[in-house]
Amino acid sequence: MRRLLPALAIAAIALPALAGPASVTVPILGPQGQAMGSATLTEGPRGVLVRVEAKGLTPGWHGLHFHEKADCSSADFKSAGGHMHDAMPVAHGLLNPAANETGDLPNLFAGADGVANAEVFSTLVSLGAEGRGRLLDADGSALVIHASPDDHLTQPIGGAGARVACAVIKAP
């Protein structure tokens, strides 16, 4: 029995490590508050894996960005603020030689039925780890889907156009 107790204590200490990486799933809402899908964000060792499942989009490519505030309360989603960025001046675009904002993500493609499913990874952000691009900072952040594709170069938002869907990212 005495040998069993230390083994149980070691197992109890190791169990939290087996729980897996930190993850948060958030609903994606449309301009009238209608459900348009969900996004699951999972902390990786050097960034965040984002799985997007959305419906009700116009067919084609859509800009996808992290925005600076966990606020999707206005119908145009401008309440989410601008793209996340850590430094000034801001250089938007994954293809921009002057670097990029922490909110930059690849585009999202919706099929003819308006459904989009994608998994993207960003090394520019973390869920809550100290350092660059904390999605779960004091005021949270938002994941925003835009009406048009992002050309990943044009300032300030790559020509992505209006905001058509939004997900609030904040600590539970």
Q: What is the count of structural domains for the chain?
A: 1
Tokens of residue 90, six digits? 């801001």
Task: Give the pLDDT band of residue 19 (cuts 50, 70, 90).
Answer: low
Task: Give the pLDDT band of residue 86 (cuts 50, 70, 90).
Answer: confident
Q: Is 35 part of a structural domain of the chain?
A: yes
| pLDDT beyond 60 at 1 | no
Question: Structure pTM?
Answer: 0.86
Measured at the alpha carbon of residue 36, what is the angle toward residues 32 and 42, in degrees to the nearest 5? 125
Q: Is 60 part of a structural domain of the chain?
A: yes
Q: What is the CATH number of the domain that holds 147?
A: 2.60.40.200
Q: Is 8 part of a structural domain of the chain?
A: no
CA 132/CA 142 separation, integer angstroms: 16
Contact 157, 77 (CB under 8 A): no
CA 110/CA 146 separation, integer angstroms: 12
Q: Is 7 part of a structural domain of the chain?
A: no
pLDDT tens-digit series, residues 95-150? 988 878 889 999 999 999 999 999 999 999 999 867 678 899 888 999 999 999 99
| pLDDT beyond 50 at 9 | no
Q: Is 1 part of a structural domain of the chain?
A: no
Q: Is 6 part of a structural domain of the chain?
A: no
> Which domain, by its residues, includes 130?
21-169
The residue-averaged pLDDT of 2-19 equals 41
Candidate from 40-44, 87-91, 148-152 with smallest mean pLDDT: 87-91
HEC assignment per residue over 104-137: ECCCEEECCCCCEEEEEEECCCECCCCCCCECCC
Residue 2: burial class (beta carbons within 10 Å; 0-12, 13-18, 19+): exposed
Q: Is 32 part of a structural domain of the chain?
A: yes
Task: Give the pLDDT band of residue 90 (cuts 50, 70, 90).
Answer: confident
Element (H or E) spanning 50, and its range?
Answer: strand 47-54
